[in-house]
Structure 1
Amino acid sequence: MKSGVRHGEYKVAGGKLVAADVTVDDATIANVHINGDFFLEPDEALPRLNNALVGMPESAAVDALTARLDDAVRGAHLVGFTTAAIAIAVRRALGFATGWADHTFEILHPAPMPPAMHLALDEVLTAEVGRGTRPPTLRLWEWDTRAIIIGSFQSLRNEVDLEESKAEGVTVVRRISGGGAMFVEPGNGVTYSLYVPASLVEGLSFEQSYAFLDDWVLGGLRSIGIDATYQPLNDITSALGKIGGAAQKRLANGGVLHHAMMSYDVDADKMFRVLRIGREKLSDKGTKSAKKRVDPLRSQTGMTREAVMEALKDHFRERYDTVDGTLRPEEIAAATTLAAEKFTNPQWTARIP
C-alpha cells in the first residue's frame, strides 16, 4: 500500500535543523528527501543521502538507518548535523518518534512538600506518562525543608556526613536517577522535572538526550540575561561558572524522567559541612574551596527566585503548547504511599551504604 509524503524534523542541540520528507510503499521506504539549514560538502553527497534509505523497512530503527547513511556519505563533510539526526527526522516522519510540537505539555507548580514526596512524585508521574495516562509534564519543585538528595548509585557514607546533617536538620533521601548529590534549602534553588514519553528521545543516546531536554532551559536563562550553555555530560553552566546539573531515568514502560537543580543562592559553607565533597571531585570544576554563597541565578540576574521561576515557565510556554495543571488526587495518594514505603525507608536510602 502506498502512502503520501510524510514530514519529520529534528533540531540538533546547538546545531542545525534537519527535515525529512518520506514516502512509503508496502511498508518499505520508497523515497526520501532530506533538507534543512545545515552545511554539506560536496553537493553530490545530498542525493547519496536521499537514496541511502530507499528499500529499507519502514520499521527500521535509528541505528540501522544511521549505518546505511554513514556508508552513503563516507568522506563527505556534514556540518551542524549528523547522519543520526537524519535518521531521527526520518523516524519522526514515519511516526515512530515524536518532536516537541507533537505534544501538549502540562505545567505543574504545587506548594512546598517534603523531599521524599518530590522523589515519589517523580517516579509516579514518569510511570503515568509512560503508560499514557498523563500528558508530558513540566513540574517545578518547592521544598519545605533542607535536604540532601543523593544519586541512585552513590554510597551514602561516602557522600554524606550523617552526624553533621542530623545536627543541621537536613533530611537525606535517595532518588531513582543517577548522578551526584545535591544540597537544597527552601528558597535556595530552582528545581524542575520533565516527564516525557520515550518517543521524544527516540534514537538519542543518554548523552544526546541531556542536551536535547536541557535546550529549553538554556533559552529560558538567556531570556533573563544569563549566557547559559550545556556542558557534557549533564551540567548547565555560564562564563561565570556552573549553574546546575541534570539527571535522568528511563522506565521500562516508556516514561522518561529528566530533572535538574540550579543554584539560586546556596549556603556553600553549610553544603560543604554536610556533604563529603572530595578534592578529586572539585578538581575538574575549577574549585579550590567553598565560597560563602553559590548564587549564579541571583547574582547574574538580580531577580528574585520567584521571578526567575516565572520567567522560565513563560519561556517554556512560548516554545511549546502548554496547559496549566494540578496534581490529581490519585497521583498524590500514590506518591504518598511510595514516599512512606520507599523514599523514607532506610533500606532504600542506604541501599549502597
Structure 2
Amino acid sequence: MHGEYKVPGGKLVVVDLEVEEGRIADFHLAGDFFLEPDTALDAIDAAVTGLPVEADAAAIAAAVRGALPDGAQLLGFTPESVGTAVRRALVTAPGWRDFEWEVVHEKAVSPRMNLALDEVLTARVGDGRRRPTLRLWEWDESAVVIGSFQSYRNEVDPDGASRHGFDVVRRISGGGAMMMAAGQIITYSLYVPASLVAGMTFADSYAFLDDWVLQALRSLGIEATYQPLNDIASPTGKIGGAAQKRLANGGVLHHATLSYDIDGEVMTEVLRIGREKLSDKGTTSAAKRVDPLRSQTGLPREQIIQRFIETFSRLYGAEPGRITEEEYAEAEALVAAKFATVEWLRRVP
C-alpha cells in the first residue's frame, strides 16, 4: 500500500507498507523532508512496523515520536504527518490530480443563493453528478453570514446591520460570523469527495484543502500562513477564515472568506464582537484583527481572483466550468424552502 501527504507549507511525506494479519508490515518512510540524524529514519520505520491497522493518526504519531532519538530534528514534516500518510495509505486515498477539476466563476447572485448553491453543488459532487469544483463567489448585496450553530441575537446587531445595509443569513457550515460587504471580500468554495481527505483529521483537512490558496497568496508577495483551526493569516494580521460541512452522501464543502477591503469600525457596529472572543487573539480591537488583501498587494480584487484561478488550475489541472440551469433552479428552490425562511435563520435564537 502507498500513501502520500503534502504537509501544508512543508514537505511531501510518502509511505509504503504491507498488511499482514491485521498489522502494518515492511513499513518505509520517504519524502523530500529533512531529518537528522540519519538513523532516525530507521527508528521511525521500526516504530510503525507492527502497529495494528486500526491505529489512528494520533496513535501512529505517538509511536513515531516515542521512537525518535534524543535531539532528533524534523524539518518540513512532523510525526502527525507520518500518521496522516499511513492512514491515507490504509484507505487508499486519492490525491488532487486523481480527479478532474472544474473552476467556476460566474454571475453575481444573492447571498442566500450563494449559500444554496454551496449545498446543491456539494450534494452533486457527493453523489457523482458533478466533478469536484472550485467556485469563486460573486454576490449582488452585502450580508452577515452566521455559522450554522451560532446564536442570531448573540452575533448580530440588527440595528447596526440595517443601518449599514447588511442582510443576515445562515450557512450550513459551522464557524464564526463573516461580514461580507459586496465587492470587499473574496469567497471561494471547494466541493470535493470525502475520499480526497480520507485518513486526515478534521484539523489536517482544513490546512490541506487551503494549501493552494496559501501558494497563490505567496505568489502575490504575502507571507501567508495557516493558523489552526481555520484562519488564514499574514505577519500583519488575519486575512480570513475557513469552514466545512460534510454531507452523508460523501460530499465535502470547504469554503473560505478573505477580506479584500474591510471597514473595521463598521464591523464592530454590525457584529457583536465581545472582549471574550478577542481575548485569545492578542488584541482588544476587532478592526486590528483583519488585514485586507488590498492593503497588502495594492492589486484590484479581480486580479487577485484571477491569480487564485491560475494557481489552482496549474496545480491540479483544473478546467473552466459552469453551473447548469438545472443546478441554479435547484438552488432557487432551496432558497425558498430553507435559506430565506425565518425558521432557518432563527433556528438558534
TM norm structure 1: 0.88
Aligned-partner Cα distance in 2 for 1:73–1:299? 42
Aligned-partner Cα distance in 1 for 2:66–2:164? 59
**Structure 1 counterpart of 2:237, which letter?**
G
**Structure 1 counterpart of 2:67, which letter?**
G
> Which residue is 2:181 aligned to?
185
1:154 to 145, 150, 153: 150
Structure 2 counterpart SS, 1:242: strand
Report how many aligned residue pairs link the two structures.
345
Aligned-partner Cα distance in 2 for 1:62–1:149? 38
Q: Is the 8 A contact 1:231 1:237 kept in 2?
A: yes
**Structure 1 counterpart of 2:10, which letter?**
G
1:199 to 195, 201, 204: 195
Aligned-partner Cα distance in 1 for 2:51–2:289? 57
> Which residue is 1:18 aligned to?
13
Aligned-partner Cα distance in 1 for 2:248–2:311? 31
Q: Kindly report which structure 2 residues correspond to 1:51-70, keeping only aligned pairs within 5 A, or say none.
A: 60-61=53-54, 63=56, 67=59, 70=62
Aligned-partner Cα distance in 1 for 2:297–2:235? 14
1:220 to 208, 216, 220: 216
> Which residue is 1:108 aligned to?
104
In structure 2, the CA distance between the partners of 1:62 and 1:266, relative to structure 1 (3 Å rule), is farther
Shift of 1:226: 1.0
Q: Is the 8 A contact 2:155 2:271 kept in 1?
A: yes
Q: Is the 8 A contact 2:43 2:67 kept in 1?
A: no
> Which residue is 1:138 aligned to?
134
Aligned-partner Cα distance in 2 for 1:348–1:44? 57
**Structure 2 counterpart of 1:103, which letter?**
F
TM norm structure 2: 0.88
In structure 2, the CA distance between the partners of 1:68 and 1:215, relative to structure 1 (3 Å rule), is closer
After the TM superposition, which parts of structure 1 deviate over 6 Å for at least 4 consecutive aligned residues?
A: 24-28
The yes-or-no answer on 1:258 pairing with 2:254 is: yes
> Which residue is 1:268 aligned to?
264
Aligned-residue sequence identity (percent) comes to: 58
Aligned-partner Cα distance in 1 for 2:286–2:345? 26
In structure 2, the CA distance between the partners of 1:72 and 1:213, relative to structure 1 (3 Å rule), is closer
2:241 to 240, 245, 260: 245
Aligned-partner Cα distance in 1 for 2:22–2:171? 42
> Which residue is 1:3 aligned to?
none
> Which residue is 1:320 aligned to?
316
**Structure 1 counterpart of 2:29, which letter?**
I
Structure 2 counterpart SS, 1:326: coil
Aligned-partner Cα distance in 2 for 1:279–1:169? 25
Structure 1 counterpart SS, 2:318: strand
> Which residue is 2:3 aligned to?
8
**Structure 2 counterpart of 1:213, which letter?**
L
The yes-or-no answer on 1:351 pairing with 2:343 is: no
Shift of 1:24: 6.2
Shift of 1:11: 1.2
Shift of 1:338: 1.0
The yes-or-no answer on 1:174 pairing with 2:170 is: yes
| Unaligned residue ranges in structure 2 (runs of 5+) | none
> Which residue is 1:38 aligned to?
33
Shift of 1:275: 1.3
Shift of 1:225: 1.2
> Which residue is 1:74 aligned to?
66
